[in-house]
Amino acid sequence: MQQRANISVLPVPFDYGAGRGGAAHGPAAIVEAGLPQKLQSLGFPYVLHSSGYMPDIQFDLRTSAQMKNWGRVLKMSEAVAAATAAIDAAGDFPLILGGDHSIAIGTVAGLAERRQRLGVLWIDAHSDLNTPQTTPSGNLHGMSLAAGLGRGDPRFVSLRGAAPKLQPERTVLIGARQLDAGERQTIASLGIRCFTMHDIDRRGMSEVMEEALAILSGAGCDGVHLSFDIDSVDPGEAPGTDTPVRGGLTYREAHLAMELIHDASILTSAELVEVNPYLERSGRTAQLAVELIGSMLGEKI
């Protein structure tokens, strides 16, 4: 991260953007797995917010086949955007814990309020570039990056005003290995830089990350947000997630990515999403999340 010492941890216990329940318990699992101790041992002052900033979203039953639970996702997004914007405005480093990946609709909207040239590093097995027209599932966690880029339902795209929040030349994807047809089209037509698992296999994580970070460093960003979907990591290491895809990042590749991100000193915010403790007994996925956050913050072997 940049020279901002105070870390503001914002839990988003929400999973109505996913196809099943459980990711709402991700933040508690990550805290339970030792995140506060990790931040302390690395010497960062931090505050751990309660989830009380979220209004009563349970009872907004508005939904459709193309945007399941959109009423709840919209209410959550508004609350998360406001909370994230406030943390950013206070000069703290926002560290957001998901929750399913639909929470990025809110985090990106909140960050974009002060940062019109926000860069985003999206580490994920997926691209989350679907729209209500292209989604195969109707799950909004597969549409969050699209919303940031100005694609999809106007209520999400224009959350808290200006749209789009993100520009394709400041958006970099890493770890992709399961893209839907409409998403491929969007990546091609917008010219988004997408480093797939194929690229990582051939060139190695180190070279891929160097290029990715160079793109963001050279893109005139006024901030860089890391959106880390734990399903980017291979399901052997990260089984507790809703949409696992074989052939993911190894444990070491994931750590190396985080270490290189730290060394580049460009991050101004980060989120870690899609940990679903319901899907495993071991707790190893939440533990991995804590370790990866450690590497992101400068922990070395």
Ligand X SMILES: NC(=[NH2+])NCCC[C@H](N)C(=O)O
Catalytically active residues, by annotation: 101, 124, 126, 128, 141, 229, 231, 274
Q: Least distance from C-beta 29 to Mn ion, angstroms?
A: 18
Q: Least distance from C-beta 149 to ligand X, angstroms?
A: 15
- The residue assigned the tokens 């809110």 is 106
Query: Was 229 annotated as part of a binding site?
Result: yes
SS3 state of residue 59: coil
List residues near ligand X by CB under 6 A: 101, 126, 128, 130, 135-137, 139, 141-142, 180, 229, 231, 242-243, 274
Instruction: Indicate the residue among 113 and 271 with the shorter CB distance to ligand X.
Output: 271
Query: Was 231 annotated as part of a binding site?
Result: yes
The 8-class DSSP code of residue 170 comes to G
Instruction: Indicate the residue among 15 and 113 with the shorter CB distance to ligand X.
Output: 15
Exposed e or buried b per residue across 129-161, where buried means at least 16 C-beta atoms within 10 angstroms of its C-beta? bbbbebbebbbbbbbbbbbbbbbbbeebbebbe
Query: Was 222 annotated as part of a binding site?
Result: no
Query: Was 56 annotated as part of a binding site?
Result: no
Q: Least distance from C-beta 115 to ligand X, angstroms?
A: 23
CB-based contact 230:238 (threshold 8 Å) = yes
How many angstroms separate the CA atoms of 111 and 105, rounded? 10
Q: Look at residue 154 and give the partner it binds from ligand X, Mn ion, none, a contact being a CB closer than 5 to 8 Å depending on partner kind.
A: none
Instruction: Indicate the residue among 25 and 141 with the shorter CB distance to ligand X.
Output: 141
How many angstroms separate the CA atoms of 162 and 174, rounded? 27
Q: Look at residue 88 and give the partner it binds from Mn ion, ligand X, none, a contact being a CB closer than 5 to 8 Å depending on partner kind.
A: none
Query: Was 124 annotated as part of a binding site?
Result: yes
How many angstroms separate the CA atoms of 270 and 260, rounded? 14
Which among 207, 206, 216 has a CA at the least distance from the CA of 265? 216
Q: Look at residue 15 and give the partner it binds from Mn ion, ligand X, none, a contact being a CB closer than 5 to 8 Å depending on partner kind.
A: none
Instruction: Indicate the residue among 113 and 229 with the shorter CB distance to ligand X.
Output: 229
List residues near Mn ion by CB under 5 A: 101, 124-126, 128, 229, 231
Contacts of 99 (CB under 8 A, 6+ apart): 11, 12, 13, 14, 15, 23, 24, 26, 27, 273, 274
Q: Look at residue 142 and give the partner it binds from ligand X, Mn ion, none, a contact being a CB closer than 5 to 8 Å depending on partner kind.
A: ligand X
Annotated binding site: 101, 124, 126, 128, 229, 231
Going by the annotation, the residues of the binding site for Mn(2+) are 101, 124, 126, 128, 229, 231
